[in-house]
Amino acid sequence: MFPISHIDEQLVEEVKNSFIGEQLQVPPIYSAIKIKGQTAYSLARRGEDVILKARKVEITSLETNRVSDEILSFHIHCSKGTYIRSLAHDMGQRLDSGAYLGKLRREEIGIYSVQDALSIEEIVNYIEGISPI
């Protein structure tokens, strides 16, 4: 359990704002980044030391929503290469507590948006020849 009694809206706002803009981020060791031809997660799973270099990322917007005393949700627009698991961890550290990612939903990548995605029903109808896409 992480200490949370000291976390108020003002602290959340300050921490959130500290992540806006360009910054360096260390990717999680359980990532697909290659180290001497092997993925970091493969090395980590074998118990080997994995040291990853910080990479430049940019967060253009970060909106937070306090769901409960223990849960903070957020909506983010960020550059490619940004690791949201690392962001959650780093936010917990800056809140003088801890944090982990409970769930993640990617709503956009490049020009593709979940708002433009087909429903399962539309895909099934297309496959069955009932309707064109």
pTM of the model: 0.82
Residue 101 CB partners (closer than 8 Å, separation 6+): 84, 85, 88
Q: What is the pLDDT of residue 119?
A: 93
Homologous superfamily, domain 9-103:
Pseudouridine synthase (3.30.2350.10)
DSSP assignment letter at 69: S
Domain regions of the chain by residue span:
9-103
Q: What is the pLDDT along the chain (133 residues), one digit of tens a residue?
A: 788 999 999 999 999 999 999 999 999 999 999 998 999 999 999 999 899 999 999 999 999 999 998 999 999 999 999 999 999 999 999 999 999 999 999 999 989 999 999 999 999 999 998 988 7
